[in-house]
Amino acid sequence: MLLDEEDEVSSGDVHQLYGAAISRVVHVMTGSFSMGSATTYRQRAQKIGFPEEAVEVRQRVAHGALPSLSEMRWVAALTLQFLYKNYWQLQRKELMALKKRQVVKRKREEVEVKQDSGPTHSIDDIQSLLKAAQETLEDTVAEEQQPATTAQTGWTIS
């Protein structure tokens, strides 16, 4: 898609690049590299919620009937949106949750060290732990409610 934005690549080459990229992503996402699978690309795509339009374009590319460049751009955007929503956004949430768990763990360890050196926990220690746990919960809930959208200018999170 980046080469597409520059005028240094011919239209025919851009067409071929989109076709190859869409074919490759359909193959990878639908697991078609596994041998002996009796299901079709379309069935495997439906099973994971992958855009059916990408499967259709892949079929046409494979049989030499290249779709229009605008259709290929549209399908490429659909596949990127699928990847963003189903993989990149989920991975980001998992990494943020892991980071927050590490913060909570570190605070617990600090409290344990204080406990070993003294007879009781302070109210500040307990409040700090409760606040960290509450922030983790609130951030997780808030992130689950952020839908991903694509715009002409690129990705935005609303």
pLDDT at 33 over 60: no
Q: What is the mean pLDDT of the chain?
A: 80
Contacts 24+ apart (CB under 8 A), 47-50: 48/86, 49/82, 49/86, 50/26, 50/79, 50/82
Q: The tokens of 149 are what? A: 């959208």
Lowest mean pLDDT among 83-92, 111-120, 125-134, 148-157: 148-157
CA distances from 19 to 67, 89, 94, 139 (A): 9, 26, 33, 39
Model pTM? Answer: 0.56
Give the residue-averaged pLDDT of 128-143. Answer: 79
Query: How far apart are the C-alpha atoms of 143 and 82, rounded to whole Å?
Result: 17
Choose between 26 and 126: higher pLDDT: 26
Residue-level pLDDT at 120: 62
Q: The tokens of 15 are what? A: 């067409």
Q: pLDDT band for position 70 (50/70/90)?
A: very high
Residue length of the chain: 158
